[in-house]
Structure 1
Amino acid sequence: MPQKPWLIGVDIGGTFTDFVLLDTRDGRLLNGKVLTTPHAPEQAVLNGIAGLLAQHGVAPEQVRHVIHGTTLVANALIERRGVPTGFLTTEGFRDVPEIGTELRHDTYDLFMRRPDPLVPRRLRLGVPERLRADGAVLVPLDEDVAREKIRALRHGGAQALAICLLHAFLNPVHEQRLAEIARQEAPELTLCLSSDLVPEIGEYERGTTTICNAYVQPVFERYLARLGDGLRGAGLTGPLFLMLSDGGTVREDVAARNPIRLVQSGPAGGVQAARVIGESAGAADILCFDMGGTTAKAALIDDGEPQRSLDFEVSRVDRFRKGSGFPLKVPVIEMIEIGAGGGSIARVDRLGLIRVGPDSASSDPGPACYGLGGTLPTVTDADLLLGYLAPDSFLGGDMRLDVAAAERAIATHIGTPLGLSALEAAWAVHETVNQSMAQAAAVHALEKARRIEGYTMVPIGGAGPVHACAIAMKLGLPKLVSPPGAGVASAFGFLAAPISFAHLRAMVAPLATLDLDRLRAMLAEMEAEGRAMVAEAGVTDITIRRIAAMRYAGQGYQVEAEVASLDRDALRQAFEAEYRRLYGRTEPGLPVETVGWRVIVAGPTPKLELARPRDSAAPSLKGTRPAWFGTGFVQAAVHDRTALRPGDTLAGPALVEERESTLVLPPGSRATVDAALNLVVEFG
């Protein structure tokens, strides 16, 4: 029996901070949720953990470790709360971060906007040096000029320095020498080298990734220091792990060096949770629908494996338009933002149409119904008026919702401009959100060559179960699996994620002339680095995956394929199998070339026992409540989720309440409780 049986998962969202306390002896899960403290996120974490441990009589010394995911990195980039950052690059290339790829995300908009560079031009400087396309030195680094430029950046106010030289992904010698000079001339600067962080082809994407990492690293390091001190001060002496965007976890010291790898930290935990939940219900192909307080995201899980990517964008000017943000070359679980969250603000635009988001009331001042000073209508206000949420049992009764304030906000800003009653306006907001999210999820599946009808939805997030059935019906999905504790699923997903880290390296070479000995040596080095990093976290049972990025010669985009053998025929077969799956065809006569490699070193995936029924035999039915479905109110049965037992069946209309969320079952639907206490919903 472990001496420290308890694990804690913590997810900081835009509106709420979620907690899961797991007893590894019997699989018992205890949940918590508090309002996020945006100006000092660690305070919500520390207060929530202290409250959860006290509530259940768990001593801090009994906690083995804490696993944490956060939106802090993404928010720091979006809200421009990083530190003044300098950028050193090859002479003549200082404007690459502003020029980009010259692609337009909106061809016909003459006033198209792009995000302003994080580094102003005065802090972007070039140094004389040049490497050939094969990594050989063409022009040696001018160290005297380099010292002058570093001193100029320091005097210009830079607190962090991003170094990204042309072709440094093939040969880091000049970047490493610049780092040595910077430590001599300005030891107080935080340094980030592209050759360490993202040794991949593409100077623009490599540069923006390095800049973003340098920009947020001091902020993130200070946050981790405050959080670590607070945890230790509270008696939690076990290690702190953090969730990466690709679904793995690492120790806090690794995360501190690579904060950009946490840009999708929280949502990645949600996908990991959906994977485990789907597995418990016997579903392999899953549509993870994660709707929290600020955004709603969707991710596809095929045969139990989330789709992954090396491309991600942050700080978009146009929230839903690809190409309007900073491109990042980091491993991520692939997901798409498909809509608004519970706190997203609704309004009527100049055409008389209802728009929801992208701005959110967040936790301060929050939706109007929170009674914290918010006066603008949100999705949560609409859901409250429609009867889906109970004003006296929100967050288990810890927060009472103000129905009158919600009605006033909806009527003033939506109903009156459109000539609708407050209830009609609330339904219009609810339907607008559902329709837009259903459409975006269907388009995302089509872009991935998938038919959405073949997936089982797993809704998570505080607002996910409220909207899930309506969206699933619009998509024509056969069934939906709603787990217990959906409102804190991301925090649970952190506990279900393995210790893991992915190393990236470029190797651009025709497959026909690929130096296999050099490739094997490079992969062995990457594996050794990964083994050492994972071993530091106390993991000895390790698995290794090797993934090659390849393309047909002349193409601008590559396809990733996992490979088991390193001979040329096997590499081509793996590439063409994945290419055929994506595009339905191959080009047998065209030569293939490798572009880059990813080596994933991971420990075992934790085996978690999901929720168990309580011993109480109390009935689940608490009464009825009017809920609006389409044309008016109907009486919906209200059930206590914690009282449901395996085999119980419910018929819609019904509202299934738990502390963190409410599942809305529309008329004609039927739900059955399975062995893992999931509600498996089918639609008539």
Structure 2
Amino acid sequence: MRLGIDIGGTFTDLLLVDDETGGVRIVKVLTTPADPSRGVVEAVDRALAEPNRALSEVSVLVHGTTLITNTIIERKGARTALLATEGHRDAVEIRREHRYEMYDVLVEMPKPLVPRHLRFGIDERISPQGEVLRPLDREQVERLVRRLQERGIEAIAVSFLHSYRNPVHELAVKEIVARVAPDLYVSLSSQVAPEIKEFERTSTTLCNAYVQARVEEYLGRLEDDLRERTFDGSFFLMQSSGGLCSTETARNFPVRVLESGPAGGALAASHFGQALGLNSLLSFDMGGTTAKLAVIDDGQPLVAPEFEVDRVYRFTLGSGLPVRVPTVEMIEIGAGGGSIARLDALSL
């Protein structure tokens, strides 16, 4: 048997496929925001109760969710600090020269996930060719890490100039944190998004660090609950790109599964479209909280190299936090099946 589980903002949906009989069972329960794993366990118990089967018979479990995106939008992630090359700690706030509303002098930009007092410049420098121009000040890093631990910081994002060419200084910071404060989560830009473009790389790394602790807590609880129910199969998470990853990868790089739920819907539309001989279509995924649209071209969803989360203006490019990971391209509308429509005094 195979299980598919998708956690949305309103409902948690489960699909159970019996490979022997070809039978399919669908279960829908309310999402439990305080502890999403509870909703998953409830759905699993319901799905297996009627055919009187055991979870040990399930060979593969695939999981998609929008909970990670919601963690960023609702600003409920870990208390995070940023370590950047000296003089570059404000790159995430300065952003790029592009203004999504050119003539609006009061244009609003999304607030960085890390406030300025938790962004720190580190004495180090790597050249664009990867040469060490100024060695890392290891003593400065060690003192800072101890201070951050005392201040209750849970996660550290590290984004040094040109680390995609030579990650030696970022790796040294990770080694120092592991020795001085092993309980802190560390995200390195050279591992999360090893590409040119400092702002996008730093923003992606910050998103990863911000949600990592919450993903670790959630997956830990869910895996424990599943093991108690004798699950011993393969557990995968859907990635924003439409591929699959292990729970270990999701723990280390949660930014890759930010849009995993909607990506799964687009893939399903692609699959059934091909079965019907339809290679060009629109997929429409109506959830309880939001509705998603994606374009299927030549039988496959369009995949973009980057997307934005937490946009100030929902459909306006440049008004959100850039995340440099491959993502199924889609439009999301904040009006789902659970939305309440009404007319105001002007009949609007």
TM range (shorter): over 0.9
Tell me the residue number matched to 2:3: 8
Equivalent residues of 1:209, 1:260 under 8 A apart: yes
The 5-angstrom pairing of residues 156-555 of structure 1 reads 156-338=151-333, 340-348=335-343, 352=346, 354=348
String of CA shifts for 1:192-249, please: whole Å, max 9, x gaps: 1010111011111110111111111011101001001111112222232111111111
Mapped partners of 1:55, 1:320: distance in 2: 44
What secondary structure, in the 3-state scheme, does the structure 2 residue paired with 1:340 have?
coil
Residue by residue over 1:62-107, the C-alpha shift from the partner in whole angstroms, topping out at 9 and shown as x without a partner, is 1112111111110100111111001001000011111111322222
1:25 corresponding residue in structure 2: 20
| 2:31 corresponding residue in structure 1 | 36
Between 1:336-345 and 1:186-195, the stretch displaced more is 336-345
Task: Write the distance in 1 (CA, Å) between the matches of 2:344 and 2:155.
Answer: 41
The 2-side partners of 1:223 and 1:170 are apart by: 34
* Counterparts of 1:190 and 1:232, CA distance in 2: 25
Contact residue 86 and residue 158 of structure 1 kept, 8 A: yes
Alignment of 1:580-595 (within 5 A): none
2:91 to 69, 93, 96: 96
Identity %: 49
The letter of the residue matching 1:188 is D
Matched ranges for 1:643-682 at <5 A: none
**Quick one: distance in 2 between partners of 1:264 and 1:307?**
14
Contact 2:285 2:291 in 1 (8 A): yes
Aligned to 2:138: 143
Per-residue deviation, 1:338: 4.4
Counterpart in the other structure of 1:519? none
Name the SS of the counterpart of 2:341 in structure 1: strand
Task: Indicate conservation of the 8 Å contact 2:56/2:229, yes or no.
Answer: no
Does structure 2 conserve the Cα–Cα contact (< 8 Å) formed by 1:127 and 1:149? no
C-alpha contact 1:291 1:341 (8 A) present in aligned 2: yes
Structure 2 distance, partners of 1:27, 1:76, is: 37
Distance 2:284 2:254 in 1: 25
Larger Cα-atom Rg: 1
- The 2-side partners of 1:332 and 1:90 are apart by 29
Shift of 1:26: 4.1
- Hey, what's the Cα distance between the residues in 2 that align with 1:200 and 1:217? 21
- Indicate if the aligned counterparts of 1:86 and 1:161 stay in contact, CA closer than 8 A: yes
Residue 344 of structure 1: SS of its match in structure 2? coil
Helix, strand or coil for the counterpart of 2:59? strand
Q: Which has the higher contact order (CA 8 A, sep 6+)?
A: 2
Give structure 1 stretches of 5+ with no counterpart.
1-5, 355-684
For the 8 Å contact 1:123–1:156, the answer to whether it is kept is: no
* TM-score, L = length of structure 1: 0.50
Q: CA deviation at 1:15?
A: 1.1
Q: Indicate the residue corresponding to 1:582 in structure 2.
A: none
Residues matched between the structures, number:
348
1:84 maps to which residue? 79
Matches of residues 48-67 of structure 1 in structure 2 within 5 Å?
A: 48-67=43-62
Counterpart Cα distance in 2 of 1:157 and 1:131: 30
Cα distance in 2, alignment partners of residues 353 and 65 from structure 1? 51
Deviations 1:492-526 (A, max 9, x none): xxxxxxxxxxxxxxxxxxxxxxxxxxxxxxxxxxx
SS of structure 2 residue aligned to 1:247: coil
Deviation string 1:527-557 (CA, Å, 9 cap, x unpaired) is: xxxxxxxxxxxxxxxxxxxxxxxxxxxxxxx
State the TM-score, normalized to the length of structure 2.
0.96
The AA in structure 1 aligned to 2:5 is: V
Structure 2: tracts of 5 or more residues without a match: none
Deviations 1:440-494 (A, max 9, x none): xxxxxxxxxxxxxxxxxxxxxxxxxxxxxxxxxxxxxxxxxxxxxxxxxxxxxxx
Q: Which moved more, 1:203-212 or 1:316-325?
A: 316-325
